Amino acid sequence: MATDKTSSLDDIIGEISSGMTIGIGGWGSRRKPMALVRALARSSVTDLTIVTYGGPDLGLLCAAGKVSKAYYGFVSLDSPPFYDPWFAKARTTGAITVREMDEGMVKCGLEAAAARLPFLPIRAGLGSDVPNFWDGELRTVTSPYPDDDGRHQTLIAMPALQLDAAFVHLDLADRHGNAAYTGIDPYFDDLYCAAATRRYLETDRLVTTEELVEKVPVQRLLLNRLNVDRVVHTPNGAHFTFAGEYGRDEAFQQFYAESAKTPEAWQAFSDRFLTVPEDVYQTEVDKWNAEREDAQ
Amino acid sequence: MTTGHAGSTPDPSADVTRAEYCVIACAEIFSGAGETMASPMATTPLIGARLARLTTEPDLLITDGEALIFADTPAVGKSGPIEGWMPFRKVFDVVASGRRHVVMGANQIDRYGNQNLSAFGPLQHPTRQMFGSRGAPGNTINHPTSYWVAKHSARVFGGVVDVVSGVGYDKIDADNPAFKYLNIPRVVTNLGVFDFEGPDHTMRAVSLHPGVDAAEVAENTGFEVAGLADAGVTRAPNAEELRLIREVIDPKGLREKEVKPVSTSRTAR
């Protein structure tokens, strides 16, 4: 029998140390491993480098002062007010160094790391300010093969985005690290895992291997055992982003963004939803939604 | 132009709104595109792309903006039968293939077509944060990229963009063939239609919408626009196009929310 990798959020965060580079799966405000992000925000680790298609994951970590450097293609909440307020604050105060890039360059850099290559060539980035965001860390490479007209193409040499750890959220998984998405898009979660030394998977539903393979077509089995070190069962863990079996909590996301506007509002938000364990968070979110419905 | 409804609408252009001229201009962005992926990023170009697909460009691929390729051409905000799957990772494959024409928005565009949707101010310490560069660097270097600006102003069309997200013509390295696919066919705004066929690939007026004159464009642009005095008038939609816009693609009139209604009479100014 293969290894049982089920763990607690604390087990996982215990393996994270300050200064690490962490890749966070999902996309914008879509299927983000928010339970792991919340646990990281509560922890004592600092000085993290984050690699992400950014959403409220990056925002919450900026709010908690955990981020010193960020590699991203974009940062978006995907619905109004669109711009994440905590990421915006970290940027406009100069609190973080960024290696902003084209969205396609994130995929390219993860693929390079997954294949243990130092770089992959890509057209995206040429002529734009992306190289200027990288302060000399981003170089070009010239093709050894000429085009038909005898000239040689010079392309961006996208460096491998090697990760110390990857956090991803999949809709269902077994105890060994086999996992599937049930929504419309796998995003890039398999690449994050392939690019990382340690791979941490949270899942809404922990099922037997038999149930997993019965539930979904094989093409949805995005991760196998080679891709995952620990599995944590986190029902509704992607909240307030959406996952395969629940939508985005738009009202709560707006409340998050509103709460960032004043120190008092953020303190209240933080006391109720961030400094608490995951099960308390989920209970408080249910209460918050019930209060909101009562008020209407 | 054939007008299937000529009997019931003697003068179909009489009450055409500014937003509807914008839709026509956005549809014409895709003229001759053939079997390519149309990726409009706002309501007006989305209506335009679907109008093109229902009239002259039936082979365009359009998606739901998430991960599904539509078989039919549904109304704005509606779903419909699908013909394929286009998750984000496959979008990047399409970008690299060049078989795509995107219509992006812009916080800033300069006279050479450099575009910014990332942030205002210094790169590592901006004064205002927006989305970051998104797919703009990859779009512009790989395939046709047009822009849609719902409110044409000197703030958008200023001097120099703060962050180059979308690459402009003056950034092309003529010695490097990796730049050979850069192509910015159109900028459509609430005032008119523009391209970059002015001297040294600078922004040029192609047509102004009815009711807009050269002075209004000049007042709202921070640099000189080539060909402004000679620009024609944006063509009116025909009766069939108006029917498709009003009854099929955008029956709720979302286009009028993106582009404020203004008089389309040339004598109004």
pLDDT 10s digits, B172-206: 999 999 999 999 999 999 999 999 999 999 999 99
Mean pLDDT of chain B: 93
Instruction: Write out residues in chain A with pLDDT < 70, as ranges.
Output: none
Whether the per-residue pLDDT at B8 is higher than 60: the answer is no
Residues of A within 8 A of B133 (CB-CB) are 73-74, 100-103, 128-130
Minimal CA separation from B227 to chain A, in Å: 27
pLDDT for A67 equals: 98
Q: For residue B266, what pLDDT band results from cuts at 50, 70 and 90?
A: very low
pLDDT for B12 equals: 53
Q: What is the pLDDT of residues A263-279, one digit of tens each?
A: 999 999 999 999 999 99
Inter-chain touch B131–A154, beta carbons under 8 Å: no
Among A122, A152, A185, the residue with its CB nearest the CB of B67 is A185
pLDDT for B3 equals: 40
Whether the per-residue pLDDT at B2 is higher than 50: the answer is no
Distance CA B85, CA A137 (A): 36
The pLDDT of B21-34, averaged and rounded, is: 98
Q: What is the pLDDT of residues B72-130, one digit of tens each?
A: 999 999 999 999 999 999 999 999 999 999 999 999 999 999 999 999 999 999 999 99
pTM for the model? 0.96
Distance CA B150, CA A202 (A): 42
B151 touching A (Cβ < 8 Å): no
Inter-chain touch A92–B177, beta carbons under 8 Å: no
Inter-chain touch A128–B87, beta carbons under 8 Å: no
Q: For residue B261, what pLDDT band results from cuts at 50, 70 and 90?
A: confident
Whether the per-residue pLDDT at B268 is higher than 90: the answer is no
B217 touching A (Cβ < 8 Å): no
pLDDT for B260 equals: 85
Q: What is the pLDDT of residues B35-64, one digit of tens each?
A: 999 999 999 999 999 999 999 999 999 999
pLDDT above 70: percentage of residues in chain A: 100
Q: For residue B11, what pLDDT band results from cuts at 50, 70 and 90?
A: low
Among A76, A129, A185, the residue with its CB nearest the CB of B164 is A129
CA distance to A199, A219, A265, per residue, from A15 (Å) = 11, 31, 32
pLDDT for B230 equals: 95
pLDDT for B263 equals: 54
pLDDT for B157 equals: 98
Query: Is the CB of residue A266 less than 8 Å from the CB of residue A259?
Result: yes
Inter-chain touch B132–A75, beta carbons under 8 Å: yes
